[in-house]
Amino acid sequence: MTAPDLGFAVVGTGVAGHYHATAIAQTPGARLVAVCRANAARAGESTAQFGVPCEPDLDTLLARPDVDVVCIATPSGLHAQQALAAARARKHLLVEKPLALTLADADALIAECRHSAVLLGVMLQRRTDPTFQAVRAGIEQGALGRLVSGLISIPYLRPQSYYDSAPWRGTWALDGGGVLMNQGIHLLDLLLWFMGDVVDVCARADTLAHAIEVEDCLAATLRFASGALGTITATTAAAPGFPHRVEVYGTGGGVQIEGEHVTRWESASNQTASPVVTVPQQVDAGAGASPTGISAIGHTRLVSDMVSAVHVGREPLVSGAEARRSLALALAVYAAARAGK
C-alpha cells in the first residue's frame, strides 16, 4: 500500500521559503498545505504566490491537522522559538540553517523533539550532493591517508542593498552573525563532515565594507581533534563574488572543491572509488555572487529524505545533533575573534 502524502507547511515566505516550497512541489509523497508569514496584511499575496492558504499566525498553522511537517524558513533568530512551538505541537521539523543562535537553544530544541517524538532535520543541503558524499566516503576509507590540513575559503559578495533589503539582515539578534553564520555555515558543515570536530580556534573578524552590526570579513585557524590543522577565510566584500573552495589534504592525497565541483582528486590508494572530477572552463560564482545562485536540488533531496525518515522512523540525513556541530564551531570562532586570541 502506498503511504499517504505528508502535509508540509512553510513558515516564512522570503527567499528561503520559496526554496522550501519549490522542493516540496518536486518531491513525491510531499504536499504543501499552508504557509505563514509575519506580515498578516499581505497574507493574500502569499496565498496567490504559493497556491495554499497563508495562515495569520504560527499557532493557527500548528493547529491544522493536515500539517505533518513544518519547514522553518524565517530569519535565523526566530528558528529556535518557532521550531520549539512546532515540536510541542507534535510536528516534524525541517529548519533552515543555522539550527539556532545559541547552543542552549539548540540543545533545548533537540531535547524537545526527542521528548515529543518528532523528527528534526536541518537544511545543510550540501551533504546531499553525490560528489561530496563520494569525497566523504573516500576520506573514511583512507584514500587520503592521515588527514593533516583542511581549508575553506568564502570570497563572496553581498552589496549593501542586500543588507538593506530587510531590517533583520546584518544584525546579531536576528542574523546571528555575518559571513560566517549566514553564508559560511554550509562550508563549516562540510569541513567538519570531512575533517571531524575542532578543539582549538584562533580568529579575527571585522566589518570592512558594509554598514552592518556583524562581520563581513573573518579569518580563523583551527586544530581538529585528530591533530590536523585548518583555516577559514570568509568575506562578503569580494567583488564581483567568487565560488567558495573546500580543500582537504592528507599523507596519501588531497581533494580540491571549487563551488560544487571537485576540481582535483589525488590519492595514492587504488582501493577506493574516486569522486568524479569535473573541471568546467570557469566555475560559476553561484552563491558567491547571489543568495539565489543555487538550485533547489539540495533542498529537494532533504525534503525527500524527510518523507522517507517519517515513514521509516529513522533520523533525517542532517539531524539536529549534526547541525549543532557547525553552530558550535561558528560560535567558537566568534568567541575567539572577540577575545582576540
CATH number at residue 75: 3.40.50.720
Asked whether the bond before 98 is cis by omega within 30 degrees of 0, the reply is yes
Least Cα distance to 145 among 255, 257, 262, 276 occurs for 255
Question: How many domains are contained in the chain?
Answer: 2
Question: At 337, which amino acid appears?
Answer: A
Whether 90 and 154 share a structural domain? no
Distance between start and end Cα atoms, the chain = 59
How much is the pTM? 0.94
Q: Residue 288's pLDDT is what?
A: 84
State the cell numbers at 166.
530587510
Whether 70 and 20 share a structural domain? yes
Least Cα distance to 306 among 318, 295, 294 occurs for 318
Whether 121 and 248 share a structural domain? no
pLDDT-derived band at 280, boundaries 50, 70, 90: low
Model confidence over 128-152: pLDDT tens digits?
999 999 999 999 999 999 999 999 9
- For range 166-190, the mean pLDDT: 97
- For range 310-337, the mean pLDDT: 98
State the cell numbers at 20.
522550501
Which residue's entry shows cell 553525490?
130
Whether 180 and 281 share a structural domain? yes
Whether 154 and 52 share a structural domain? no
More confident site: 278 or 202: 202
Residue 1 has pLDDT above 60, yes or no: no
In a domain, 1, yes or no: no
User: Residue 112 is part of which domain span?
Assistant: 6-125+296-319
* DSSP element (H, E) containing 312: helix 297-312
- For range 108-118, the mean pLDDT: 98
Whether 133 and 100 share a structural domain? no
pLDDT-derived band at 282, boundaries 50, 70, 90: confident
Q: Residue 40's pLDDT is what?
A: 81
Q: Residue 43's pLDDT is what?
A: 85
More confident site: 273 or 122: 122
Over the chain, what is the mean pLDDT?
94
- For range 228-233, the mean pLDDT: 98
* Span of 99-108, 235-244, 260-269, 300-309 with lowest mean pLDDT: 260-269
CATH number at residue 145: 3.30.360.10
